[in-house]
Amino acid sequence: MELTLWTYEGPPHVGAMRIASSMKDIHYVLHAPQGDTYADLLFTMIERRGQRPPVTYTTFQARDLGGDTAELVKKNIKEAVERFKPKTLLVGESCTAELIQDQPGALAKGMGFDMPIVNLELPAYSKKENWGASETFYQLTRTLLKEKVSSSEKISPLRWKELGRRPKVNILGPSLLGFRCRDDVIEIQRILSEQGIDTNVVAPLGASPDDIERLIDAEINICLYQEIAEASCEWLKRNFGMEYTNTIPIGIKNTIEFINEVHNKLDLPLTNKEELEHKSKLPWYSKSVDSNYLTGKRVFIFGDGTHAIAAAKIAKDELGFEVVGLGTYSREMARQVRATAKELNVEALITNNYLEVEDAMKKAAPELVLGTQMERHSAKRLGIPCSVISTPMHVQDVPARYSPQMGWEGANVIFDDWVHPLMMGLEEHLIDMFKHDFEFVDGHQSHLGHTATETKDLINSDDKKDNNPKEGIIWTESGRAELTKVPFFVRGKVKTNTEKFAILRGILEISDETLYDAKAYFN
């Protein structure tokens, strides 16, 4: 049993709903009690969808449990098939139905329908949302293509040459409730098309079962989000020989590497290599003198595996930040996140507990947080600027304007989205600096409002979770005064370091000089 106050991921059947809702001509019969219908609002409210998710909930009640819940399942399947006439039917159960073991998938298969039926077994007590989405997409692909496995030869990435046409690829992984998937797909298709590469199928977003059956018309697969598509890409590789890409095109370097990887796999000459460096404004914006102040900005990153890793690389290599924390809630991608963290000399935080993330954030004393909607709240409480880079998200993270994360435009969006909160952070700093001037209007605030931590709170706070060894140490008047002059966003860090230094040296009273001694020591 695990105490959870808030969870980054929903249960695995919500992942299945993400696949079903992303696609056309699919219906999902979910053996579940009435309360599980809450999941519809994730799609209709957060994504502002104008269609209901294609899901029928069997809505069994306590009084049905003594009777025949299997009959109820069959009745709902029959009605759903008659009403929605899906081309493929997904059948599964949520956590409670898993316990009563009606095996709805097997029941559906015994009902004599012509359409393919995918039996989804998603263990609700051990797995989570992204795993459920990945498994559903995999089972669906497998069900719709397994008959073609034996009859088809292995697909060569060079087949397009024999066929005398442009190379074709599939873009796999984008789904509803994924981060900016809608726009990433457009950006990637545009980039591929400029390189003379056609998109065969995008799936699951916008695809129908017919499109899934057409996947093998392409030469290779683009695995755009490993969390969702890697299992399917791997199956397509094993059974049809289709190669797939590993580079996630977020940031300039990775976008160029992605284009290279696609060209290499297809054996397509890359003719516009120099041009690629100038496709996005990010490199110049980052180089322009105004961005000098970005150098060494301390950034804390937490999100899904794909976006957290990409953010860490951009932060370090393309914006010149210092990554002071990196973590993910995607246990499936823990290994990769750990590897990236090691390269950056930080310890990876792999957790589903947002309070642990907040604690780590506090300790790292960053100047910018890149995270999910929950890190936005934590950062707000700590008075640190934040930009959202990953699901789970809020309705405001689904903007009306075109705002991809991937490709050239994605890099532009990232520059703006990460740097603007810092500009405002700088404004906060200036307000802090000038607040003793007589022109200063009392109560003047930046966008951060009252949330930024006051020095006196920092000094007086007796956080019992903070294992800071500060017993017996006193801050003198001059020490306190000096600490208030430190910019608010590093004040916590300076305080901790100074106390650490004082203990190390056996200093009992911290004066302004101790502060400077500590500063020199830690430099």
Partner 1 sequence: MSKVEFNKEAGPREVFCGLTSIVWLHRRMPDAFFLVVGSRTCAHLIQSAAGVMIFAEPRFGTAILEEKDLAGLADAHEELDRVVNDLIARRPEIKTLFLVGSCPSEVIKLDLATVAEKLNNRFLGQVRFVNYSGSGIETTFTQGEDGALKALIPLMESSNEEKLLLVGTLANNVEDRFKKIFGNLGISNVESFPPRQSTELPKIGKNTKVLLTQPYLSETVRDLKHRGCEIISAPFPLGIEGSTEWFLAAAKAFKISELKVHEIISPLINRAKLALESHKEILKGKRLFLLPESQLEISLARFLHNECEMDLIEVGTPYLNKELMKEEINLLPDNTKIVEGQHVEKQLDRVRESNPDLVVCGMGLANPLEAEGISTKWSIEMVFSPIHGIDQAADLAGLFSKPLKRNQILTSKTLVTH
Q: Which of 166, 253, 331, 377 binds partner 1 (CB under 8 A)?
A: 377
Tell the smallest beta-carbon distance from residue 246 to partner 1 (Å).
Answer: 30
- From the list 16, 124, 324, 350, which residue makes contact with partner 1 (rule: CB under 8 A)? 124
Per CB under 8 A, 39 contacts partner 1: yes
Q: Cβ distance 203 to 212 under 8 Å? A: yes
Active site annotation includes 290: yes
- Pairwise CA distance, residues 3 & 426, whole Å: 39
Footprint of partner 1 on residues 9-28 (CB under 8 A)?
Answer: 9-11, 13-14
Paired residues of 117 in beta bridges: 89
29 three-class SS: strand
What is the Rg, in whole angstroms, of the alpha carbon atoms belonging to the chain? 27
For tokens 């060209």, what's the residue?
A: 263
- Burial code (b: 16+ CB inside 10 Å, e: under 16) for 27-55 equals bbbbbbbeebeebbebbeebbebeeebbb
Near partner 1 by CB under 8 A: residue from 57, 137, 179, 329: 57
With respect to partner 1, which residue has the nearer C-beta, 323 or 388?
388
Helices (H), 288-353: 305-313, 334-343
What are the DSSP E strand ranges found in 330-398?
Answer: 348-350, 368-371, 386-388
Per-residue x/- track, 444-483, partner 1 (CB under 8 A) = ----------------------------------------
Residue 430 binds partner 1, judged by CB under 8 A: no
CB closer to partner 1, 343 vs 463: 463
Q: Pick from 24, 25, 59, 194: which binds partner 1 (CB under 8 A)? A: 59
Q: What is the DSSP string of 131-157?
A: HHHHHHHHHHHHHHHGGGTTTSPPPPT
Contacting residue, 154, 165, 278, 381, with partner 1 by CB under 8 A? 381
Is residue 6 part of the contact set for partner 1 (CB under 8 A)? yes
For the beta carbon of residue 5, count every other beta carbon within 10 angstroms. 7
Separation of alpha carbons 387 and 378, rounded Å: 12
Query: Smallest distance from the beta carbon of 324 to partner 1, in angstroms?
Result: 22
Question: In degrees rounded to 5, what are phi and psi of residue 268?
Answer: -110, 125
Pick the binder of partner 1 from 61, 152, 271, 445 (CB under 8 A): 61
Is the bond preceding residue 392 a cis peptide, omega within 30 degrees? yes
Smallest gap from Cβ 269 to partner 1, in A, equals 45
Q: Does 166 bind partner 1 (CB under 8 A)?
A: no
Could you say which of 37, 156, 412, 484 contacts partner 1 (CB under 8 A)?
A: 37
Catalytic residue among 290, 417, 442, 462: 290
Which stretch, 8-16, 85-93, 272-280, 445-453, contacts partner 1 (CB under 8 A)? 8-16
CB under 8 A: which stretch of 36-44, 184-192, 319-327, 364-372 binds partner 1? Answer: 36-44
Binding mask 307-346 for partner 1 (x = CB under 8 A): ----------------------------------------
Stretch of 238-246, 300-308, 373-381, 470-478 lying at the interface with partner 1 (CB under 8 A): 373-381
Q: Is residue 187 a contact partner of residue 409, using CB atoms and an 8 Å limit?
A: yes
Angle at 40 between CA 38 and CA 43, to 5 degrees: 130
C-alpha neighbours within 13 Å on the C-beta side of residue 81: 20
Taking CB under 8 A as the binding criterion, the range among 124-132, 168-176, 421-429, 485-493 that sits at the site for partner 1 is 124-132
Q: What is the DSSP letter of 46?
A: I
CA distance 94 to 307: 28
Of 78-117, binders to partner 1 (CB under 8 A) are 79, 83, 94-96, 99-100
Rounded Cα–Cα distance for residues 360 and 303 (Å): 14
The answer to whether 27 and 20 have CB atoms below 8 angstroms apart is yes
- Give the integer Cα–Cα distance in Å for 264 and 242: 14
How many CB atoms lie under 10 A from the CB of residue 75? 11
Among 21, 22, 56, 405, binds partner 1 (CB under 8 A): 56
Pick from 18, 22, 31, 76: which binds partner 1 (CB under 8 A)? Answer: 76
**351 belongs to the binding site for partner 1 (CB under 8 A):** no
| Residues carrying an active site annotation | 290
Which residues contact partner 1 (rule: CB under 8 A)? Answer: 1-7, 9-11, 13-14, 33-42, 44-45, 48-52, 56-62, 65, 76, 79, 83, 94-96, 99-100, 123-126, 128, 355, 358, 373, 377, 381, 394
